[in-house]
Amino acid sequence: MRDLQKFYIDGQWVDPKGHDSLAVINPATEEAIATIRLGNSDDVELAVAAARKAFPGFSQTSRDDRIALLERIISAYKKHSDALADAITNEMGAPEMLAKNAQVAAGLGHFYVALKLLKNYSFEEVMGTTKVVKEPIGVCALITPWNWPLNQIACKVAPAIAAGCTMVLKPSEVAPLSAHIFADIMHEAGVPAGVFNLIDGDGVGVGSALTHHKDVDMVSFTGSTRAGTLVSQAAALTVKRVALELGGKSANIILDDADFEKAVSRGVKGVMNNSGQSCNALTRMLVPANKLEEVIEIARRTAASVIAGDPMEATTVIGPVVSQAQWNKIQGLIAQGIDEGAELVCGGLGKPSGLVKGYFVKPTVFARVTNDMSIAREEVFGPVLSILSYQNEDEAVAIANDSPYGLSGGVWSADLDRARSVAARLRTGMVHLNGAVLDANAPFGGYKQSGIGREWGAYGLEEFLETKALFGYDEV
């Protein structure tokens, strides 16, 4: 049982002002593995004050200084990679290999991207007699989720450091272990006092206080659309910038000329990855009506190969979902899918056979889903795939776009030009053509209720920059 009841503020671990504590639960065993303290508005005041005090100096550091700092962070991060992977496995149930090769690696990747970008990014531009400069926005509140904890921390912290901002991080109180190790990494790397601060807490006690705070210049939030709405409302009172990466219900369109064995099997595995706890998962699979039976059989066979179990076991493909609350929500949506008449291809209610303890969900596939069903409209955030059929390409596009979300999408076709054409019609922030993987240099974010702004690469850096015009900088 680890005692993590301190916050990292102004370059040191300090005792919180808040008195309430919270047990961190290992979702595979349902046992408490750590205790954190829940912060309050007094803790927020101290952390924001530290970040505000540090901003004038850090914002004026040179490009070379920040390059050297990022290099030190990368070096320290690598040294702690095994501890980070172990923390993620224990706090949110990711299997060991996924924790190491995807979760931890993704976080490191964002620091490499920020480092490369900082070496070449132009912060100044001359337009006639006017000089335009891009400057750090100020003190940033970074509020991150539990599903990809290090990825979401790193894709905010790395560009904030590169831009010259100072920050207060509120990691998820459900999965805070890796965040505490990350704070140690920042300290070891010599991040100046006050530049990076960490306080634990929930949305009511800490998240709301950060978004309301007059000395916070920007909020970068990743989480549910419901919570993102509250963040926007609170931030509007002080007209601060808000970047939101929210929910998704993304469509994976498999066209009639695609390799169905490849497209369907990869689509099923993609949804099951990370126990379905990815906002950009392609959870609606759209297939030609005359191929539906073939698709169902491939999906059934593929889902059966997805082994849910102890994340410490090498054979495990997916671990548990993060909490009892999440498990209950997923079970409720599976029940709705059954009640609303979708065909249960495999999986369903309850835990996988032989698993008594832990928040495990059966890899589940529904077919003959219509786009008005709950499982086609709501973000399940579990290992649940919905298969819908269409008659023609136009109907496929219409179904894909008939969603309040617009985060990601996929198109499969033997004809790349045809896939490109369909992708151009999708109202979504990202599209994977024929299973192409994510690119950490490209923008990540969505349309509609999937968010505001972009993360990753140059687009992510620019969220942390203000633009200033200096008229008459050069003589005529």
Nearest to 211 by CA among 44, 58, 54, 59: 44
Confidence bin at 475 (pLDDT 50/70/90): confident
* Phi (first) and psi of residue 341, to 5 degrees: 100, 10
Contact between 455 and 463 under an 8 Å Cβ cutoff? The reply is yes
**Strand order through the sheet with 130-136:** 124-127, 130-136, 465-470
Confidence bin at 1 (pLDDT 50/70/90): confident
Same domain, 408 and 459: no
Distance of CA 234 to the CA centre of its chain: 21
Same domain, 144 and 116: yes
Same domain, 129 and 97: yes
What distance, in Å, lies between the first and last C-alpha atoms of the chain?
69
Name the residue with tokens 């929210």: 246
- Verify whether residue 297 is a known catalytic residue: no
Same domain, 201 and 261: no
* Cα–Cα dist 171/154, whole Å: 11
Q: Is 23 inside any structural domain? A: yes
Contact between 436 and 408 under an 8 Å Cβ cutoff? The reply is no
Q: What is the mean pLDDT of residues 413-439?
A: 98
Q: What is the mean pLDDT of residues 405-433?
A: 98
- DSSP at 174: S
Identify the CATH number of the domain in which residue 309 sits. Answer: 3.40.309.10
What is the amino acid identity at position 232?
S
Identify the CATH number of the domain in which residue 31 sits. Answer: 3.40.605.10
Check pLDDT > 80 for residue 77.
yes
DSSP characters over 324-362: HHHHHHHHHHHHHHHHTT-EEEE--SSPPTT--SS----
Classify 449 in phi/psi space as left (phi over 0), alpha (psi -120 to 50) or beta: alpha
pLDDT at 158: 98
pLDDT at 427: 98
Contact between 317 and 362 under an 8 Å Cβ cutoff? The reply is no
Contact between 107 and 88 under an 8 Å Cβ cutoff? The reply is no
Same domain, 332 and 193: no
Q: What element of type H or E holds 32?
A: strand 31-37
Condensed to tens digits (0 to 9), the pLDDT of residues 412-423 reads 999 999 999 999
466 CB neighbour count, 10 Å cutoff: 15
Residues of the chain above pLDDT 90, percent: 99
Domain residues for the domain of 397 are 251-439
Check pLDDT > 90 for residue 56.
yes
DSSP characters over 74-103: HHHHHHTHHHHHHHHHHHH---HHHIIIII
Q: What is the mean pLDDT of residues 255-283?
A: 98
Q: Which of 98-102, 157-161, 313-317, 407-411 has the lowest mean pLDDT?
A: 313-317
Kindly name the residue from 173, 245, 379, 462 that is annotated as catalytic: 245
Same domain, 72 and 162: yes
Q: How many domains does the chain have?
A: 2
Name the token pair of 226: 């419901």
Condensed to tens digits (0 to 9), the pLDDT of residues 86-141 reads 999 999 999 999 999 999 999 999 999 999 999 999 999 999 999 999 999 999 99
pLDDT at 43: 98
Q: Is 476 inside any structural domain? A: no
Nearest to 96 by CA among 372, 319, 364: 319
Same domain, 265 and 124: no
Condensed to tens digits (0 to 9), the pLDDT of residues 343-402 reads 999 999 999 999 999 999 999 999 999 999 999 999 999 999 999 999 999 999 999 999
Q: Is 106 inside any structural domain? A: yes
